[in-house]
Structures are given as structure tokens and as C-alpha cells.
A and B are shown apart, each in its own frame.
Chain A
Amino acid sequence: RKEVEQDPGPFNVPEGATVAFNCTYSNSASQSFFWYRQDCRKEPKLLMSVYSSGNEDGRFTAQLNRASQYISLLIRDSKLSDSATYLCAVKGGSGGGADGLTFGKGTHLIIQP
């Protein structure tokens, strides 16, 4: 089983719709969780940290389910500019040592006008 798994997509979603992604992780000792977005051939940009109680930042909501070992990202009222690859990252997974991040391969999102 891979350390961090994501559905690669692509997810084709009409503008204004709500879309959700999940990410599963294998190491139950993982400590911290993040969502990044990466545009083609650019650096990952931190979208949000994921907290146990769930957290929201504008149109974005992140949830953590430790029992089932997955995190989710919900995007409401999607915009054309949301088109990107969304990377799930876990700290404390064995793929990143104790301090590095272990990334999934990403979910590709395409928002269609």
C-alpha cells in the first residue's frame, strides 16, 4: 500500500459546482496534514493545514478522519482559477522521515466554463 494515495483524476467540474477529494495515508503515527496546489511546472503552494476538528478557509474546507486515516478537501463555488493539481501531504509518514512531508501524486482538477 502506498504511503499517501490520491485519485489522480482528472476531475472535470463545471464552474460554480462543489467538488471534493479524498486522500488516504498508511502511517497511523502521522502527525500533521496539509493540502497544497500545484500549477503546471510550478512550485507547490500551501493551500491549508488540516486540523482534527476540521477547518475552513473561504470556499475551502478540510477534514481529517484519523480512525479511517483519510483527509478530504471540499471546494465550493468552484472558479476557473481553481484548475490545478491538488497535493495531499502528510508529516511523519515514513516516506518523509520524521520531519519531511510525504506527498501523494496529486488529483488533477479542471474547472470548465
Chain B
Amino acid sequence: NAGVMQNPRHLVRRRGQEARLRCSPMKGHSHVYWYRQLPEEGLKFMVYLQKENIIDESGMPKERFSAEFPKEGPSILRIQQVVRGDSAAYFCASSPYGREQYFGPGTRLTVT
């Protein structure tokens, strides 16, 4: 049973470009969460989704960030017009019942 998959593992973007991060949950998991870990900081919750629905986006920055989890395909975290402060590791987690969360390997975004 494959774990949570994320791609790309590393992403380099220039300031002003868009970043798209993808996450495929573990088989049978319908709950997806996105977290961000800034250098030397703890993990911060961003958004919680189920298929076709955003359940809780209380941790998402108000501008430039969006997330979706379509009926088919992976969950996508999209960052428009990236700035240097967006450089971080972005982790996706999935859960079968909304309790224990299992993390993917993360995408390391570097904005130059």
C-alpha cells in the first residue's frame, strides 16, 4: 500500500511565478490536509479538504493561496505570484477517518 505521494519533491520558482504542488492520498483515505514548515519553524496547518470540498481553510493566507481536491486526481495546492517568504517545505497528510494523519515526503519550494 503506497503511502502519501507528493510531487514535485523540489520546486524552484522565480518571484512572481506560480507554484503547483500535488498530493495523492493513501489508498482509501478521503481526508487531505496541507501544512507548511518554514525554516527553523514548526509545522503550520493550512487547509483541510475532502473530495470536491474545502472543509477548513482557516490556516490559508488570504491572498495568492488556493487548494482543491477534485473528484478525480490529486489534491493541488496553488500559490500564485510567489514571493521569497513562500520558500518552505509543504507537507500533505491524509487520513482515513479524520483522526490519525499520515504525511507525504513534502515539496520543498525555493523562490529565487
Please report A residues at the B interface, Cβ cutoff 8 Å.
Answer: 32, 34, 36, 41-46, 49, 87, 91, 95-106
Contacts of A42 in B (CB 8 A): 105-106
- In angstroms, how far is the closest chain B Cβ from the Cβ of A26? 14
A32 touches B99 (CB 8 A): yes
Chain A minimum-CB-distance residue to B45: A100
- 15 A-B residue pairs with Cβ-Cβ distance under 8 Å, sorted by A, are A41-B89, A43-B91, A43-B103, A44-B103, A95-B59, A96-B59, A97-B58, A99-B31, A99-B48, A99-B98, A100-B47, A100-B56, A100-B59, A101-B101, A105-B41
Give Cα A102 to B45, complex, Å: 7
Chain B interface residues toward A at CB < 8 A: 31, 33, 35, 41-48, 55-56, 58-59, 89, 91, 98-106
A57: min CB distance to chain B, Å? 13
Of A41, A46, A98, A106, which is within 8 A of B101 by CB? A46
Closest 3 CB pairs of A and B: A100-B45, A97-B58, A96-B45
> Of the candidates A32, A87, A98, which one forms a contact with B43 in the assembled complex, judged by CB atoms under 8 Å apart?
A87
- Once the chains are docked, how many angstroms separate the CA of A105 from the CA of B102? 18
- Return the contact of A95 from the options B45, B89, B103 (Cβ within 8 A): B45
Q: Are A43 and B99 in contact (CB under 8 A)?
A: no
